[in-house]
Amino acid sequence: MSLWLALAIGNSRLHWAAFSDSRLLHNWDSDYWTAAAIAQFAADPASAGLSIASEVSLQAPVPLAIASVVPAQTDLWQQYPAQQILTLADVPLAKMYPTLGIDRALTLWGAICSLGAPVLVIDAGTALTFTAADRANTLLGGAILPGLRLQQQALAQDTAALPLVALQPDLNLLPPRWATDTPTAIRSGILYTLLASLQDFACDWLLQEPEGAIALTGGDSALLHQALSQQNPALAARIHRDPALIFRGIPALRNWSLI
């Protein structure tokens, strides 16, 4: 079995998937790697302690498809000998604009490959993005806002009195909306407005495309899906959560040849 990896470089961390031919075996997240760790991995992949290492034989260097929205990280990984950097030109979507993030293009393409078009993707990452395609795989556009952690950090960093709070101490319990202490007021403000944004974009999407699919991915997708299922169970049930969405369409990219 020949193994290759896909690496999506986000603004907070790395997202990985292991593939055997076009089959996605397994996906996981990690912190950023140092240049030394990358060089070590190129020479001796088993040394990285990847959890797939025991199932398959790892040839050095393991082929690696990279999608990055962080130029400094792209530079670092360009030193890796068996990499292919994915670009918008590889993604078979029409009407992409030149500065569209490759993660948004790939995640949308992944959603089309797994759910079909038309589809709306909600990526709850460092930035939270909405990105939609019509039934002809044409990008309709979308929106970008600060994600959950970024909102918490912005409040804590740019005010004197507001602390950095844990967003939801109990995943199964939405905070009271009308809070009477500071940490709960922050949780309420961020969570209820994010849920409102999500519902507003989703409702607009379903007006436009009543049979359209909706996919949710990103580091905060579990929390947001759980919170939404308490607030709006019918909408939550329509939303397909898939942490590996960005990887689903990589084997079906343009000119794809397993690197």
Ligand X SMILES: Nc1ncnc2c1ncn2[C@@H]1O[C@H](COP(=O)(O)OP(=O)(O)OP(=O)(O)O)[C@@H](O)[C@H]1O
Residue 73 engages ligand X in binding (rule: CB under 6 A): no
Q: How far apart are CA 193 and CA 203, in angstroms?
A: 15
- Any known ligand binding at 8? yes
Number of residues that bind ligand X (CB under 6 A): 15
Residue 144 engages ligand PAU in binding (rule: CB under 6 A): yes
Q: From the list ligand X, ligand PAU, none, pick the one residue 12 interacts with, judged by a Cβ distance below 5 to 8 Å according to partner type.
A: ligand X
Please, how many CA atoms are within 13 Å of residue 187, restricted to the half-sphere of its CB? 22
Q: How far apart are CA 152 and CA 220, in angstroms?
A: 13
DSSP state at residue 131: E
Number of residues that bind ligand PAU (CB under 6 A): 12
* 31 noted as active-site residue: no
Interface with ligand PAU (CB under 6 A), residue from 18, 58, 104, 130: 104
Q: Other C-beta atoms within 10 Å of 112: how many?
A: 23
CB of 53 to ligand X, least distance (A): 22
- Residue whose CB is less far from ligand X, 15 or 58: 15
Phi and psi at 120, nearest 5°, equal -110, 130
Interface with ligand PAU (CB under 6 A), residue from 27, 129, 151, 221: 129
Q: Other C-beta atoms within 10 Å of 136: how many?
A: 10
Instruction: Give Dmax (Cα) for the chain.
Output: 58
Please, how many CA atoms are within 13 Å of residue 226, restricted to the half-sphere of its CB? 11
Q: Which is the catalytic residue, given 29, 31, 90, 103?
A: 103
Q: Compute the residue count for the chain.
A: 259
User: What are the residues whose beta carbons fall under 8 Å from the beta carbon of 127, sequence distance 6 or more?
Assistant: 11, 144, 145, 146, 147, 150
CB of 103 to ligand X, least distance (A): 5
Binding mask 121-140 for ligand X (x = CB under 6 A): ----xxx-------------
The token duo for 80 is: 């890796």
Residue 99 engages ligand PAU in binding (rule: CB under 6 A): yes
Interface with ligand X (CB under 6 A), residue from 108, 148, 215, 227: 148
Binding site for ligand X (CB under 6 A): 10-13, 69, 103, 125-127, 147-149, 218-220
Binding-site residues from annotation: 8-15, 97, 101-104, 123, 126, 182
Binding-site residues from annotation for ATP: 8-15, 126
Known catalytic residues are 103
